[in-house]
Chains A and B, each alone.
Chain A
């Protein structure tokens, strides 16, 4: 039988062998990488040769579509949510040669994601941002990446998230040029909205409905266009009979097609906005059932619940007043409010139609094909008891709760 000393020696031998193996493996990988990875490119060239990844993009300049395509390398875009829409969005921006990408997501790649684009089965278990950075860096080493694997809606992460949005630009200390919301839930959208209103950060919202057959993108300029809290969530009507839509037993469906279309119209809007060509959409919906793309623009709501939205509106008004009027720009249609409510939305709180009527708010006047998920009454008096004043301290209450 081997002594302890002998075994220790054997362990050390094996450890050394392992280190040697690892080093060899690294050397092989490095050599492969040298072969597979193109070197970084200092200046975008319009030269049409098969080794130039930017020739077709630079052709946009020659054709007169874009004035200065190279400018794309000066921009930083933050993508929040690297799922079905966000990952494809990040890939498109990477291939277009964006300067810097910040990626935020707390999730891991799962095999259940494989009905969507971008991620591959061998990446299952990796964090989405880590897996995405690896793939994207391979596609285009000219792009700078910064990734954050956390949930932006919690206290501990939100402050860091705000800090990176306001200081994470290509030139450290400068804000990002644009933030893209590619998240899949209301809480995260609201958190992004809060951050952008506080920072005055221009952003674009995107979303795909839970039934996978509609989606939208929206440009939000704090103080100028409606923020996410200015109106109840907007939805693109898919014209599906609610009675035939079965929600029992499932949460959400998803299609790579709808997500790809939404990522496409989102990045198209980003390119138009950053490189200044074409018309930038304020709101563009996609109804996959009828292939209908409703558009609209909505001004910020002076009575928005978000006080930073209201502050940004004041600042925008001041700025507008100071600006010399040159020519009349086409006025955006203001969202008018009409009183009648023919919204067939069923609500839990109400038992009778009269109660439903009383609990419903006014419906903003929206173009055909766009509706609100629900309405909120202007101000309702609280019905029912409210918590009483208490002499007990928080610690007392916590202890009382534990003792129950």
Chain B
């Protein structure tokens, strides 16, 4: 079951109303607006709680999303690029979020750098479709994944802070 903090963060993200995927030419623009509204609200909330941790933007038709996410570990900020496509079956199925630069560094990833979500995610998404959107995907999918994987990758030396790397190279 979700921890209280995640649950609290998720409960503040507004739910979406329009059940439409990218193949639905008439309703997709409306869904896309709702996605942006929810994302904006979520980022603002994160900022308010001093826990700003990702940015996302899409191409004009909203089918491809790119952005960055970051994780603070022992006062150092580790930043990663993220990307995903909206599948034709969205919002019944969630997009597969990829963090390509971590591909091959952790077993909790499928090929192409797609993160491996917990067993809890699929039922949770299915039960809340179509009201869950990309902001929920960030909060329940990518967020918890980063929280578990990044400290582990740092401890194994597989992720090195950029400035430390530069220092090491200068030595």
Interface residues of A (CB under 8 A from B): 107, 110, 112, 151, 153-155, 158, 185-187, 190-191, 194, 229, 232-233, 247, 249-252, 305, 345-351, 359, 373-374, 376-377, 380, 382, 384-388, 390, 392-394, 397-398, 400-402, 404
Contact = CB atoms under 8 A, between A and B. Distances in A.
A345 B107 contact: no
Given A374-B123, A382-B131, A251 B32 contact: no
A154 B85 CA distance: 7
A392 to B, nearest CB: 8
Nearest to A356: B1
A-B pairs with lowest CB-CB distance, top 8: A374-B123, A397-B36, A251-B116, A348-B120, A153-B87, A348-B2, A190-B89, A158-B88
Contact of B111 (A110, A190, A349, A401): A110
Contacts of A382: 15, 131
B165 interface: no
Interface of B: 1-2, 4, 6-7, 11-12, 14-17, 22-23, 29, 32-34, 36-41, 43-44, 47, 55-58, 61, 63, 85-89, 92-96, 107-112, 116, 118-124, 126-128, 131, 140
Contact of A190 (B1, B22, B93, B95): B93
Nearest to B67: A401
A251 B149 CA distance: 12
B13 to A, nearest CB: 8
Given A384-B11, A401-B56, 9 more contacts: A107-B111, A187-B93, A190-B87, A348-B123, A348-B140, A349-B128, A390-B33, A397-B40, A398-B58
Contact of B122 (A110, A154, A305, A373): A373
A191 B120 CA distance: 22
Given A351-B1, A401-B57, A386 B17 contact: yes
Nearest to A386: B15
Contacts of A194: 88-89
Contact of B22 (A155, A359, A388): A155
Contacts of A252: 110, 116
A347 B15 CA distance: 19
Contacts of B96: 185, 187
Contacts of A348: 1-2, 6, 118, 120-121, 123-124, 140
Given A187-B89, A347-B124, A387-B34, A249 B107 contact: yes
A190 B92 contact: yes
A376 B122 CA distance: 11
Contacts of B41: 387
B43 A158 contact: no
A229 to B, nearest CB: 7
B36 A401 contact: yes
B98 to A, nearest CB: 12
Contacts of B33: 390, 392-394, 397
A387 B126 contact: no
Contacts of B94: 187
Contact of A191 (B6, B16, B88): B88
A186 B125 CA distance: 12
Contacts of B122: 186, 233, 373-374
Contacts of A390: 33, 37
B17 A400 contact: no
Contacts of A350: 1
A376 B127 contact: yes
Nearest to A108: B111
B2 to A, nearest CB: 4
Contact of B120 (A110, A151, A187, A346): A346
A236 to B, nearest CB: 16
A347 B120 contact: yes
Contact of A394 (B11, B29, B110): B29
Given A305-B92, A351-B2, A390-B37, A154 B124 contact: no
Nearest to A190: B89
A264 B17 CA distance: 44
A394 B36 contact: yes
A185 B87 CA distance: 12
29 contacts: A107-B112, A112-B111, A153-B85, A154-B63, A185-B96, A185-B110, A187-B87, A187-B93, A187-B94, A229-B92, A233-B122, A251-B109, A251-B116, A345-B123, A347-B1, A347-B124, A348-B2, A348-B140, A351-B7, A359-B127, A385-B15, A386-B15, A394-B32, A394-B33, A400-B36, A401-B39, A401-B43, A402-B57, A404-B40
B86 to A, nearest CB: 7
Contact of A398 (B12, B38, B57): B57
Contacts of B2: 348-349, 351
A233 B125 CA distance: 13
A398 B36 CA distance: 7
A153 B15 contact: no
Given A347-B120, A385-B14, A191 B87 contact: yes
